[in-house]
Structure 1
Amino acid sequence: MKNLQEATERICELQGSLIASDALFSAFLEAWLPATRDTLARSFEMHTDAARTVMLNTAVSDSALAAFERDVARMRAVLAEPAPTQAPLEPRHAIEPVLLATTHIRTYAGSQLSTSASGFFFRRDDRLFLVTNLHVFADEPSGHFPDRVEIELHTDTSDLTQYATFSIPLYGNGIALWRQATDTAGSVDIAAIEIQSDRLPERTMLQAFDTSHLAPQGEDVVIGDNLTVIGFPLGFHDTVHHLAVARSASIASAYGVRFQQQGYFLTDARTHRGSSGSPVLRRRSGVQSRDSLLPWQLLGVHSTRMDMRTRDLAQDESLGLNCAWYADVLMVLTRPA
């Protein structure tokens, strides 16, 4: 009786193992490409014929042979089924919305391309602004005075390769149209220019930060915190889908303290020209959402690299530190006139 019970338990175990193997086999089939499935089907037929020949020439019961043929027929039917198709995700769900909140900026003097930079969108009530560094719009030391900028805007929710170039004049009747600010230390290297929403290309698809992204929402921001800088270093980006790239960074000076009494803090990151105007972001730990801008806290706007004039270029590496102007100045730059 004991041997019969053990045999029954063993048969049940084998049945469970076979069912689990079937489930794994089906999962593999769904993951494989059609060409791989075809190759597997041909290989299966070859090995099935070999196994059948062996079974017919050995002492195998008719029950075992019948079970073999039954399972072969079942597996052959599974292999013949068409591969399941999955509807592609819409781009607005397939990519981080924060990438649609940043844009590539090109500055022009007339028809002459001057520089390349980064920027992002900020919404205050029903008004939309393009934010970047002040020195992108005007920089007296370098003699940089463009009269307009061009940005790229996505126009198709299902095809990110579709975009429109949108031109924004920097002057009206000889007067600068952007907004800038000063503090006790002088000029702040952040500027915002309002975008007339009714002039945007049809079906424009963009995201924008707002005042809620400036608030800490009860979380402490401290030195060493991980940051993300999203922009267009050296103009580099996904030129097919017109999307920015992200660089990792960290807070390198006391956050909340004006470094050297200037309106910025320091970040530790590898940055390049063209990153000017990039949003400096911190992912909030208490908010988990891939489909919105909610997880991001806008801490600053990347400006320039920080270095020592006394550094020996032959012996000392660059500090790898950068200036990020505190983003709370946007509350001043975007308030109603």
Structure 2
Amino acid sequence: MNPLSLATTYIETFFFRADNGQPEPRSYATGFFVRGPDHLFLVTNWHVFSGLDPANPSTASKPPPNYAKLSLRSKDGWIVELTVPLYDEQMQPLWKEHDQRFAVDVVVYPLPPSLAQHFQMVDIRTAAHDKDIAEAVAKDVFVLGYPFSREEMKSSFGDDAPFYLPVWKRGTIASEPRVRLGKKVILIDALSRPGMSGAPVLISEERGVIRLDGANADVWPRLEQGTLSALDAISHLDTTGMSGGMEKRFRLLGVYSGVIGNTRLEQVALGKCWHADVLHELTKSHQPGAMPFHAPLPNAFYSRFLSDLGTGRLTRKDAQGQTTEVVPFR
């Protein structure tokens, strides 16, 4: 499986009904992971967690979401739902946003770094690491996201449909990358659906490669380790075990937010990509999340939810419901 697929996660958001406190589905979207020595961030769009349109945040057709569920792949092969609250006890947002607030439709949600010991949460920057790929108009890109909900996937392809794996949607860079819109956005020529919001956009390029097979398998590792000189390596190569080919390389271009706030983009099948520089700024310096409008008020339903959810640990259970391990989050 491509490691880049394991860098993404399917997100569902929910809100509590004001009359009876029952959870109602709000939306589905895409997120991906950025890891560092001492941090683990979930990346998605501001509009996914706030439930508001950044271009018109004072208007809301539904209540804002209260919590989100992430579909994660455990390292022992299970698909697990991780529930994350979007607000603390004082109803302050738990996500972090850009210094320019909702003018930048990208947020990060801090997760306990210890989760990466138990789930396949691949760092997008490590998996898409080819720094030599130049940004140029008309170049290929891939948007890795979830254009179908879990229910749509299962109704179309059966109960075992892999809703937890992203669809690789192909497109091209449609605006000059050196002249970013608002100094932050590149346009992508690709049809998409709302579930792609928050997806990583990867710029792609094919490169010629030489594959070493058979007796050559240990030559390159020895060369890298310094136990074999370049001249000795040539003499050790078995040309019958060499083959050429093409291989796709990737680099993170940015974060997709679709056509939110601009219906004309939809008319011409263009989407917004917040450049990776924005994400770099956000991970280095960010502000506490804020709700400019329609902020949820403290209520007993949400307080009970936080109490039931618990904090600071992950409890793993077997098929009989018996606790097998309790993992501290921090």
TM-score range, shorter chain: 0.5 to 0.7
Distance 1:288 1:325, change over 3 A: farther
Q: Give the deviation of 1:310 after TM superposition.
A: 7.7
- Given the alignment, which residue of 173, 177, 180 partners 1:255? 177
Q: Give the deviation of 1:262 after TM superposition.
A: 5.4
Alignment partner, residue 221 of structure 1: 135
Alignment partner, residue 70 of structure 1: none
- Given the alignment, which residue of 187, 197, 216 partners 1:266? 187
Q: TM-score, normalised by structure 1?
A: 0.59
Unaligned 5+ segments in structure 2 are 17-22, 211-247, 287-330
- Given the alignment, which residue of 276, 283, 303 partners 2:257? 303
- How far apart are the structure 1 equivalents of 2:116 and 2:36? 20
Distance 1:320 1:287, change over 3 A: same
Larger Rg: 1
Q: Give the deviation of 1:257 after TM superposition.
A: 1.7
**Residue 192 of structure 1 pairs with residue 108 of structure 2:** yes
**Residue 171 of structure 1 pairs with residue 87 of structure 2:** yes
Distance 1:164 1:321, change over 3 A: same
- Given the alignment, which residue of 114, 121, 125 partners 2:37? 125
CA contact (8 A) 1:266 1:323 kept: yes
Alignment partner, residue 98 of structure 2: 181
- How far apart are the structure 2 equivalents of 1:319 and 1:150? 32
- Given the alignment, which residue of 1, 4, 15 partners 1:109? 15
CA contact (8 A) 1:155 1:202 kept: no
The residue correspondences of 1:22-41 to structure 2 (distance < 5 A) are none
Q: Give the deviation of 1:126 after TM superposition.
A: 2.5
- Given the alignment, which residue of 208, 225, 230 partners 2:123? 208
- How far apart are the structure 2 equivalents of 1:186 and 1:197? 26
- Given the alignment, which residue of 151, 176, 184 partners 2:70? 151
SS in 1 for 2:277: helix
Whichever structure has more strand as a proportion of its residues is 2
Sequence identity (%): 29
1:180-236 Cα shifts (integer Å, max 9, x gaps): 1144x97100011011133x39732221223795x8724321000000011001326
Q: Give the deviation of 1:283 after TM superposition.
A: 2.5
- How far apart are the structure 1 equivalents of 2:91 and 2:262? 38
The RMSD of aligned alpha carbons is 3.2
Which amino acid in structure 1 is aligned with residue 198 of structure 2?
A: G
The residue correspondences of 1:285-324 to structure 2 (distance < 5 A) are 285=206, 295-305=249-259, 318-324=267-273
1:277-334 Cα shifts (integer Å, max 9, x gaps): 1111013555979xxxx942111111122898689xxxxx931111111121222222
Distance 1:101 1:144, change over 3 A: farther
The residue correspondences of 1:270-285 to structure 2 (distance < 5 A) are 270-285=191-206
Distance 1:112 1:306, change over 3 A: closer
- How far apart are the structure 2 equivalents of 1:125 and 1:207? 13
CA contact (8 A) 1:307 1:318 kept: no
- How far apart are the structure 2 equivalents of 1:155 and 1:125? 21
Which amino acid in structure 2 is aligned with residue 205 of structure 1?
A: Q
**Residue 330 of structure 1 pairs with residue 279 of structure 2:** yes
- How far apart are the structure 2 equivalents of 1:326 and 1:216? 16
- How far apart are the structure 2 equivalents of 1:283 and 1:250? 10
Distance 1:197 1:114, change over 3 A: same
Instruction: Report the more deviating stretch, 317-326 or 101-110.
Output: 317-326
SS in 2 for 1:332: helix
Distance 1:288 1:221, change over 3 A: farther
CA contact (8 A) 2:130 2:249 kept: no
Unaligned 5+ segments in structure 1 are 1-94, 312-316
- How far apart are the structure 2 equivalents of 1:96 and 1:330? 23
Distance 1:126 1:252, change over 3 A: same
Distance 1:174 1:266, change over 3 A: same
Q: TM-score, normalised by structure 2?
A: 0.61
Which amino acid in structure 2 is aligned with residue 321 of structure 1?
A: L
Distance 1:194 1:308, change over 3 A: closer
- How far apart are the structure 1 equivalents of 2:251 and 2:41? 18
CA contact (8 A) 1:233 1:274 kept: yes
- Equivalences, count: 227
Highest RCO, 1 vs 2 (Cα 8 Å, sep ≥ 6): 2
Instruction: Report the more deviating stretch, 261-270 or 235-244.
Output: 235-244
Distance 1:123 1:288, change over 3 A: farther
Distance 1:120 1:318, change over 3 A: same
The residue correspondences of 1:15-94 to structure 2 (distance < 5 A) are none
SS in 2 for 1:329: helix
1:127-166 Cα shifts (integer Å, max 9, x gaps): 1111011000111333552121110111145x4xx21100
CA contact (8 A) 1:124 1:210 kept: no
